[in-house]
Amino acid sequence: MSNSVLAVEATGIAKSYGTVQALKPTDLRIEPNEYYVLLGPSGGGKTTTLRLIAGLVRPTAGRISIYGQDVTELAPDKRSTSMVFQSYALFPHMTVEENVAYGLTLRRMPRDEIRAEVSRMLDLVGLNGYDNRRPHELSGGQQQRVQLARSLVLHSDILLLDEPLAALDAKLRKDMCLELKNIQKTVGVTFVHVTHNQEEAMTVADRIGLVAGGELVEQGSPEAIYNRPEKRFTADFIGENNIFDGTATGAGLDIGGRVLGLPTPAETGREISLSVRSEDMRLLDGEPKPEGWQALSGTLIDKVYLGLIGSSVVRLESGQDITVRQVGAMSSGEVGASVTVAWPTEAGRIHLS
Amino acid sequence: MSQPTTTGGRRQPASSPLSDLLTGERGLGRYAFYLPLAFLIAFFVVPMLLTLVWSVFERTNFWMEPGFTFGAYADFFGSARFENFLRAMKSSAISVLVAFVLGFPIAVFVRSSVPEKAQHKAILLFILPFMISEVIRIFALRPILGRHGVLNDALIGSGLIDDPISIFIYTPTGVVIGEVMSYLPFMVFCGFLAMESVPRYIFEVCDDLGSDTLTTLRRVIVPLAAPGILAATIFIFINGIGVFLIPDILGGPGAVNAGTLVLNAISALDFPLAMAIAAIMLVILMALLLIGHWLFDLTKLLDPAKR
Amino acid sequence: MMREYGNPWAHRAKWLYLIFVVVALMSPVLHTVTISFNEHGFGAADYDFTLVYYFDLFRNEEILAALGWTFWLAFVVVVVTLPMGILSAKFYQTTRWKVPFLLLMLAPLFIPADIMAAALLVYFKTLSRFFSDTFGLEWFDLSMTTAVIGQVLWCLPYVFVVVLVTMARYHAEQTEAARICGATAWRAFWDVEFPQIKAGVFSATAFTVILSFNEYTRTNFLKGGFETFPTYIVSYMLNTGMTPETYAMSGLVSMTSIVIVGAVLLLALRKEQA
């Protein structure tokens, strides 16, 4: 195995149903052993992408390869992929053990080998001793673990996860995220995980691909996507960012009357956007604007104290609402007071599209 | 952390090439799904449409030969057959009305007042009669309805009448009784099916507004259940005209409907006439379904998405 | 739910009416069955229980032959209709033309038995002439085959509906999961989906047996060279009227159906409690 071979390589894959384009022609490259997350709003095409890789959906255009082998024409049972579904995917008439063993029984593996493999996998996912339970006797989290064991036991090249944690409550989801990440490190298989939940994506991913409107908008490490989003959509979707749209001028960004300083100069006359993370902004309590900062005045319209963070909403003169999140200290201003929002110029990020 | 050994994207197949040929994605097996469609076209659609063609064929001594004549239709419309046919339509319409009056309130009652979980079970009670052979059910009415039958005995025994009533059987009334006994459950089924899409609170809202039962029925429930009532009406009406068993067994010597006419024509080896009557029945059915569909989208009954 | 401020007696009266109608619809058959066990037959003042008329039936060669044909026919019809019903339900789930297909599937229910049988009779006669004149074959001569086709048309809509309703409760993700575990579509169906729709298939089987067993008109038109139990009874009744023998025959047919329905209901109830 050479390392230059990609785990998944999709070129120009697209899927349309009649006139509806679920996925526009897209290229996707996933490295071996990578934990790749497809993140995006629902109906954006991320599940379609996953199902294309699994072979559950036939692409209307493009090719898909897994470890260099073209699998576009292969049925799902002939591809070396496994999948964890959101829910209802366990076989209710089989025990946990039979569920996990199902794929191995199809391969006509000797019984004692199956038994050993299954119990090894149940150990791995922390379900030791649940062999003879039926799916309906398990909690939601346990059911997802069984699905995971059923997928891992096949030692497929790619493990696909379709919103695996969406049906779980927030606390459990957090724990399961860390566990998924650990399991992936242990088994060293390429994981492709679909979710609409940012926090989940940030926790597990080596690399995130943002999918929306049937397109792969942007991809990169969680850190890069969060701190250095290239597209306006990414800045809008990930984290809590304030975005200013306007026209670039020699002096900065013209947002209709006001000109904001840009971290780097932009081509004059071009429509661009500037985004600033809400935690990079501050409310100035009467103090002067520091050197190298941008400031806008407005009215404080809402204040929420969230423990670690205080969040304030300021309505600018233009009518745009700006969210400011500050650790610890809250602005002393009352709702309705005139305030000034400010941020260091270099905290801004320019989006050309 | 271990370096994974990959299988190169392709999995060791669990199936043989031969079984793939039969049951695989691109195997011959996928054509099996068209089998029911093919069967229905070959043995239902084609023969039913061909009745139109055969009805204009020339009659020969024992069979028919290709031709184009309206002789069979002239024969049908220009004889007592047509009068009989009209009489069957009238009696069938009466049966529909009686079935509606007796059966529809049951559907309303079950939908509005029976606990949600028990509704289907209550409705399923009306399937029981269907589990018994139609012929047996109709024949079994003879000892009930006759002059010395169970019904007359009961009426005399209770002192309501002194002499047995002979109108119950071998009369047009007998035919209506037989049709209602046979087809009443359809009114209950279809009425209920249509009202399943009516949320139950509607009935309570009507109560709250203080409208009396009849007004509620006429203004709210019947319009909502209209597709179901119409489907049942068409079914009962067409079968009333078409099924020869009921007039044959319960009607008098003169009781004739389209089914009897077809049967007699076939016995007389007049195949074009038999096919002409079948074609007329088919056209009436299609026309009623089209009108019904035009008035209230009948597919609503069948397609849960449209409810 | 009962309407809480309604009159409870009105509610009970409505229930009573519902039960009354069901009993009234069943009464002719129940009456026939009762008479069939009376030694003195219909209209007698006395009632003495006897099985003698039933024993007579089983000594009658013609009746035994008719019963044999009836069960054989029912068996063949089940074997043909069930797979077709399952296939058509699957076809319905995948086709884009759902409403037209549904209408086509249900249409045979709307056409009176004798009208459809007459059209099929002429169709088979035409086909039979064509095959014998052109190839010297005896295809589509009135026979078991033609009777089976007529009955399948009658039973298929019911099987289709019952199977479809059962399949609606099945989650298709499980088939996908099985496929991804390495099962072919065929294996996935048998290993995963079928065990979960078994109950529906079982009721559909019972339903088909009853429908076929009781069918008269189509069978009478399309059979060739044999009598089934219903066709035998009807020709007997038309010739001789209601006699103790006809009561016993009617009783036999009715009770067969009642026993099958009862067994299905009992099994369903036991499953619900489990």
Q: What are residue B115's phi and psi, to 5 degrees?
A: -55, 140
> Which of B102, B131, B169 to mutate to test binding with chain C, by most C CBs within 10 Å of its CB?
B131
Q: Residue A164: how many CA atoms within 13 Å on its side-chain side?
A: 33
Query: Which residues in chain B touch residue A66, judged by CB atoms under 8 angstroms apart?
Result: 8-10
Q: Is the pLDDT of residue A1 over 50?
A: no
Domain ranges of chain C: 60-273
Tokens 């046919």 — which residue? B85
To the nearest 10 degrees (0 to 180), the angle between helices A111-124 and A170-187 is: 130
**DSSP-derived secondary structure letter, C181:** T
- Give the mean pLDDT of chain B: 86
Q: Is residue A87 within 8 angstroms of chain C, CB to CB? A: yes
Query: Which residues in chain C touch residue A89, judged by CB atoms under 8 angstroms apart?
Result: 171, 173-174, 176-177
State the total domains in chain B: 1
Q: Residue A279: how many CA atoms within 13 Å on its side-chain side?
A: 8
B6 to A32: CB separation less than 8 angstroms, yes or no = yes
Separation CA A229–CA A219 (nearest Å): 9
In a domain, B34, yes or no: no
Q: Is residue A92 within 8 angstroms of chain C, CB to CB? A: yes
Which structural domains are found in chain A, ordered by start? Answer: 8-232 (3.40.50.300), 240-351 (2.40.50.140)
Cβ pairs A/C, distance under 8 A:
63
C158: closest CA of chain A, how far (Å)? 27
Q: Is the pLDDT of residue B157 over 70?
A: yes
Lowest mean pLDDT among B3-12, B145-154, B259-268, C26-35: B3-12
Q: What percent of chain C has pLDDT over 90?
A: 66
Separation CA A317–CA A331 (nearest Å): 19
Mean pLDDT for the stretch of residues B287-294: 89
Separation CA C112–CA B242 (nearest Å): 5
Among residues 46-75 of chain C, which lie with CB inside 8 Å of chain B? none
For the stretch A218-265, pLDDT in tens is 999 999 999 999 999 999 999 889 999 999 888 888 888 788 888 888
What is the structure's pLDDT at C1? 42
What 3-state DSSP class applies to A352? coil
In a domain, B47, yes or no: no
What is the structure's pLDDT at B128? 86
Do C29 and B141 touch, CB atoms closer than 8 A?
no
What 3-state DSSP class applies to A243? strand
Q: Is the pLDDT of residue C40 over 80?
A: yes
In a domain, B44, yes or no: no
Of A66, A108, A189, the CB nearest to B4: A189
Q: Is residue B23 within 8 angstroms of chain A, CB to CB? A: no
A104: closest CA of chain B, how far (Å)? 10
Chains adjacent to B (≥3 CB pairs closer than 8 angstroms): A, C
Separation CA A170–CA A156 (nearest Å): 29
A106: closest CA of chain B, how far (Å)? 6
* Maximum pairwise Cα distance, chain B: 101
A264: closest CA of chain C, how far (Å)? 50
Dihedral angle of Cα B84, B87, B91, B92, to the nearest 10 degrees: 70
Q: Among C184, C121, C179, C177, which residue's Cα sits nearest to residue C149?
A: C121
Please provide the size of chain A in residues. Answer: 353
C189: closest CA of chain A, how far (Å)? 12
Do A318 and A341 touch, CB atoms closer than 8 A?
no
Mean pLDDT for the stretch of residues C208-228: 93
Do C70 and C230 touch, CB atoms closer than 8 A?
yes
Q: Which residues lie below 8 Å from residue B163, measured CB to CB, with a gap of 6+?
A: B156
Which tokens hold the place of B224?
């909502």
In a domain, B1, yes or no: no
Fold observed for domain C60-273? MetI-like fold (1.10.3720)
List the beta bridge partners of residue B97: none
What 3-state DSSP class applies to A34? coil
For the stretch A13-53, pLDDT in tens is 999 988 889 999 999 999 999 999 999 999 899 999 999 99
Do C219 and C24 touch, CB atoms closer than 8 A?
no
**Count of other CB atoms within 10 angstroms of residue C189:** 17
**DSSP-derived secondary structure letter, A242:** E
Query: Which residues in chain C touch residue A90, judged by CB atoms under 8 angstroms apart?
Result: 174, 177
B285: closest CA of chain A, how far (Å)? 35
Q: What percent of chain B has pLDDT over 90?
A: 51
Lowest mean pLDDT among A65-74, B165-174, C233-242: C233-242
- CA B225 vs. chain centroid, Å, equals 17
> Which of A157, A181, A186 to mutate to test binding with chain B, by most B CBs within 10 Å of its CB?
A157
To the nearest 10 degrees (0 to 180), the angle between helices C61-94 and C194-214 is: 140
Lowest mean pLDDT among A176-190, A332-346, C83-97: A332-346
Separation CA A283–CA C26 (nearest Å): 83
Of C173, C185, C187, the CB nearest to A106: C187
Separation CA A64–CA A55 (nearest Å): 10
List the beta bridge partners of residue C49: C38
CATH number at residue B137: 1.10.3720.10
Q: Is the pLDDT of residue A277 over 50?
A: yes
Domain that holds residue B258: 71-306
What is the structure's pLDDT at C2? 45
Q: Is the pLDDT of residue B1 over 70?
A: no
H, E, C per residue of chain B: CCCCCCCCCECCCCCCHHHHHHHCCCCHHHHHHHHHHHHHHHHHHHHHHHHHHHCCCEECCCCEECCCCCHHHHHHHCCHHHHHHHHHHHHHHHHHHHHHHHHHHHHHHHHHHCCHHHHHHHHHHHHHHHHCCHHHHHHCCHHHHCCCCHHHHHHHHCCCCCCCCCCCCCCHHHHHHHHHHHHHHHHHHHHHHHHCCCCCHHHHHHHHCCCCHHHHHHHHHHHHHHHHHHHHHHHHHHHHHHCCHHHHHHCCCCCCCHHHHHHHHHHCCCHHHHHHHHHHHHHHHHHHHHHHHHHCCCHHHHCHHHC
Do A231 and A75 touch, CB atoms closer than 8 A?
no
In a domain, B55, yes or no: no
- Give the mean pLDDT of chain A: 91
**Radius of gyration of chain C measured on its C-alpha atoms:** 23
What is the structure's pLDDT at B299? 67
Which tokens hold the place of B90?
């009238």
In a domain, B62, yes or no: no
Q: Is residue B13 within 8 angstroms of chain A, CB to CB? A: yes
**DSSP-derived secondary structure letter, C67:** H
> Which of B5, B11, B12 to mutate to test binding with chain A, by most A CBs within 10 Å of its CB?
B11
Q: Among A258, A269, A275, which residue's Cα sits nearest to residue A316?
A: A258
Query: Which residues in chain C touch residue B29, judged by CB atoms under 8 angstroms apart?
Result: 185-186
Q: Among A258, A283, A288, which residue's Cα sits nearest to residue A343?
A: A283
Among positive and negative, which fits the CA dihedral B189, B194, B199, B203? negative
B15 to C187: CB separation less than 8 angstroms, yes or no = yes
Determine how β-strand A309-316 pairs with β-strand B58-59: unpaired
What is the structure's pLDDT at C210? 94
Tokens 């990930």 — which residue? A238
- Could you tell me where the DSSP H helices lie in chain C? 8-36, 52-59, 61-94, 98-110, 113-135, 144-168, 173-180, 185-188, 194-214, 217-222, 229-240, 244-273
Of B15, B43, B141, the CB nearest to C184: B15
B50 to C115: CB separation less than 8 angstroms, yes or no = no
Lowest mean pLDDT among A273-277, B45-49, C1-5, C229-233: C1-5
**DSSP-derived secondary structure letter, A39:** E
Separation CA B22–CA A276 (nearest Å): 61
* Distance (Å) of CA A207 to CA A30, A31, A135, A236, A337: 9, 10, 33, 19, 43
What is the structure's pLDDT at B4? 47
What is the structure's pLDDT at B208? 65
B4 to A156: CB separation less than 8 angstroms, yes or no = no
Separation CA B152–CA B135 (nearest Å): 23
Do A12 and A26 touch, CB atoms closer than 8 A?
yes
What is the structure's pLDDT at C171? 93
For the stretch C152-166, pLDDT in tens is 999 999 999 999 989
Q: What amino acid occupies position B229?
A: I
Q: Is the pLDDT of residue C10 over 50?
A: yes
Q: What amino acid occupies position B23?
A: T
